[in-house]
Amino acid sequence: MARNICNLWSLLFILLIIKPVSAAPHSQEADAELRPAMLISSCNEKGSEYAIVVEKSTQHLFLYKYDGKMYKEINGFKCSTGEVPGAKSVSGDKKTPEGVYFFTKEYKKIDLAPIYGTRAFSTDYPNILDRIASRDGHSIWMHGTNKPLKDRDSNGCVALDNSNIEKLSKYITLNRTPIIIIDKISYVTGDSDKKIAESISNFLFNWNKALQNGTYHEYLNFYDHEYLPEISWWPEWNKLRKKIQPSNTAFSIEIKEPVVSIHKGIYVVLIDQIVKTSESDLPLGTKKFFIIERGNQLRIVGEEYLTISNIQMSDNKEQGKILIAEFRKLKNKYDYERNIEDLINTWVKAWSAKDIKQYGNCYAKNFISQGGATLQNWLNYKKRLNKKYDLIQVSIDNLVIKKDRNKIKAYFTQTYVSSGYRSVSSKRLELLREKGLWKIYREISE
C-alpha cells in the first residue's frame, strides 16, 4: 500500500515536471481556432496579408497570415529582444518598445555592419503615440546577427538567426506589414472581429467624407477632445477643394485596404489614400491612425503618414500641409493635361473651320514643321489648302499625353478628310509653354 502511494506521487511529480517542458510556447498550436487578440482584420485586394508578433516573455517571434476570416500562425522563430525588461521609454535604455509598428526600409548584407547579420528592417519607432508620451530613441530594427542567438541580448532591436530572417523577409511588405511587440500574447476564439472592423471602416469613410466636403467643425468631430490636430491648414484646403470640385476632372479621395490591430485599447489602422479621377487612380500615400473607443464613439487620438506618393516620410510634417502639397501637385498635373487637351481640341476645330488665325495661335513662335518650314511658311501653306478644298474635316482619337522632362508630348490617331481625299495617321505633337500658355512647337506624322 505504501509502495503504491509512493509510486502514485512519483508519477504525479514526473507529470508536473514534463508538462511545462512539452508545452508549446503559446496556446494557439493547441487550438487552431484561437487567434491573437491584437490582430483584428486586414483587407488586401492584391492577395494575402501577413503580420509579425514578437512575444518578449518567451523570446519568440510568430508569423501570421490573414486568410480572409482570421489570422493564423504559419511559422515561428526564436528571437532576442532588449537585455533590459520592460517597454522602451528613453534612448539608450536597452529596452525593446512595445506597440504596433511598421517596417519602413530594408537593408541587405552589403549595406550592414556584421553585427546586423545578413538582413535588417527598420521600423517606424517612435510613432506619434510614442512622441506624445515623450518616449524617444531611434533605430529600432529587426535584424540578423553574427553571433549565437541568446535571450534578451540586444540593445533594443529584435534579433534573429540569419537563416530565419531570410525566411521571414519574403513575407514583409514595407509600410504595410505590421510588427506587434508585446510582453505576452493573449488569444481569443473565433474569426476576426468583423463588427469592430466594419465600425472602424465606416468611421474612416465618414472622416474622409468630412475631409472632402465637410465643415471645419464636422472634420474636428472625429478627433478625441484630448488630441487636437494641427488645423491651421484648413482655410487653404477649403479654397483648394472649392477650385477642384466644379472641374470636369472629378477628383475624389478614397481610402483602401485597411489593416487593423489593437494594443492597450488603441486601434492602429493603416490605410492607403487614393486620389481617383475620371481617368485613373493615383496613390496619395499610406496613412496610420490611432483610434480609441470613448463612450461608444470612435475617436482619433493620433495620425501620421508612413509614405507620401510612395516616398518614405523622414520627419513628422504637418498632416494637412502634406495633403495640400500633394493634392496641388496632382491638381496641377491634371490642369496641364486638361489645358493641353483644350489646346488640341481648339487646334482641330480651327483647322476644320479654316480659321487660320485661331489655328496659328495654337503654335509656338519657334515652330518648325516636319519638313523644316517656319511658322509663317507653314501657315501660308495651310492658307493655300484652305482655298483649294471646299471641305476640310479633322478628328482625333486615342489621345495620350505624356511628360518627358521639360517637354509634353501628345499622341493620337488623326483622321483627315478633304474634298476627294481621306487619310488616317498616327500623330505626335510636342508642346512647350510660351507666356504661360501651352503651344505646339513640333508636329510629326508617324
| 163: in domain | yes
Q: What is the CATH number of the domain that holds 401?
A: 3.10.450.50
| 393: in domain | yes
Strand pairing partners for 368?
374
The answer to whether 307 touches 285, Cβ cutoff 8 Å, is yes
| Together in a domain, 124 and 272 | no
Residue 338 pLDDT level (bands cut at 50, 70, 90): confident
| 357: in domain | yes
Last residue within a domain, chosen from 317, 346, 372? 317
Total domains in the chain come to: 3
The CA distance from 120 to 106, in Å, is 6
The answer to whether 412 touches 427, Cβ cutoff 8 Å, is yes
Q: What angle do CA 247, 251, 253 make, to 5 degrees?
A: 155
The CA distance from 82 to 62, in Å, is 17
pLDDT tens digits for 82-115? 999 999 999 999 999 999 999 999 999 999 999 9
- pTM score, whole prediction: 0.73
Last residue within a domain, chosen from 133, 155, 189? 189
pLDDT tens digits for 378-434? 999 999 999 999 999 999 999 998 877 667 899 999 999 998 889 999 999 999 888
pLDDT of 168 strictly over 50: yes
Q: Which domain holds residue 96?
A: 24-189
| Together in a domain, 290 and 356 | no
Sign of the torsion formed by the C-alpha atoms of 217, 220, 221 and 226: negative
From its phi and psi, is residue 152 left (phi > 0), alpha (psi between -120 and 50) or beta? Answer: left
Across residues 61-78, what is the average pLDDT?
92
Determine which helix (DSSP H) or strand (DSSP E) holds 300, and give its type and residue range.
strand 297-308
Residue 259 φ then ψ, to 5°: -115, 120
> pLDDT > 70: what percent of the chain?
85
CA R_g for the chain:
31
Q: Provide the residue count of the chain.
A: 446
Q: What is the mean pLDDT of the chain?
A: 85
DSSP conformational letter for 23: S
pLDDT of 322 strictly over 90: no
Residue 247: the pLDDT is: 53
| Together in a domain, 264 and 354 | no
